[in-house]
Structure 1
Amino acid sequence: MTSRQKNPCKGLSPVLPAEWNSLTFHLQYLGRTIQITLNKESTSYLLEEGEALTIHHDGQEIALETGIEETL
């Protein structure tokens, strides 16, 4: 099995509606729970449950580890 099959490419480009100040939501993906928070200045990803995971945000690769928030 290739690494792409084990951990298929995930691309995210969340956009906050202009009228909103912030948005937080949870994403369930391959047995993992990811909290995503958007505000006018940044986007944050927090892997709440599951094994480490690499995602792509607007083409930028981000390594997520459980309990460590990554802010862009």
Structure 2
Amino acid sequence: MSEESRPEADARAADVVTVPLPATLCRRCVRLVSRRVRDVPGVMSFEVDVARGVVRVRGDVDREALLAALVCPS
């Protein structure tokens, strides 16, 4: 591995935002979470990990915007 590629890999790792979710999500809820996360500006990719109760988002994403997208309207 060259020295130039290491900082790039570190930068990519730093662009991951992890947000907790309720541990019990049905398939419909996972689809809803996925739709909302996909609409947040800067999202390059994401993974909903139901078993661990988290969503991991890769990209230049504002954590507050991501949390706001996941809040259910009252």
TM value normalised by structure 2: 0.29
**More strand per residue: 1 or 2?**
1
TM value normalised by structure 1: 0.30
Structure number, greater radius of gyration: 2
Greater relative contact order: 1 or 2 (C-alpha under 8 angstroms, separation 6 or more)?
A: 2
**More helix per residue: 1 or 2?**
2
